[in-house]
Amino acid sequence: MAVSSPTNGANNPFADITHFRSLIGALQYLAITRPDIQFAVNRVAQCMHQPSLLFGTLGRGLLIRPGDLELRGFSDSNWANDKNDRKSTSGFLIFLGPNRISWCTKKQPKVSRS
């Protein structure tokens, strides 16, 4: 999946940076229960440009299903994917049965060289 950085156009509808930062905070709170948007919210927060992903996905959310109590974890990372600063992004998912109970994506603070 190719991810490009948004550009800062002159017709920016979020000229009031205080209001836009408040919207970013609301998106970060929403991402707690919407792991499908967590990466996109991270990108929006980095660039401080207008978000667009949530418009068509307001009906999505988490569904907790009954099932076994097997605990499983997965992790993944990319290597120097950000073209601007060459930092990597990593993440993990933890499932209890069929339910995702914990997840995180994070941009690494240092550049990985190998």
Return the amino acid letter for 68.
D
82 phi and psi angles, rounded to 5 deg: -75, 115
- Whether the predicted pLDDT of 94 surpasses 70: yes
Reported as half-sphere exposure (CB side, CA atoms, 13 A), residue 56 has a value of: 2
Reported pTM: 0.45
As given in the structure block, the two tokens for residue 84 are 């601007």
Q: 98: which 2 tokens?
A: 């069929």
| Number of Cα atoms under 13 Å in the Cβ half of residue 112 | 13
pLDDT tens digit string along 8-31? 444 555 556 677 778 888 888 888
pLDDT for 68: 87
Give the pair of three-digit tokens for residue 65: 């299903």
For residues 66-90, give the mean pLDDT.
Answer: 86
- Both tokens of residue 57? 């996905």
The model's pLDDT over 50-71, given as tens digits with 9 standing for 90+, comes to 445 555 666 777 677 888 889 9
| Closest C-alpha to 50, from 9, 109, 94 | 9
pLDDT at position 55, please?
56
Contact 12, 20 (CB under 8 A): no
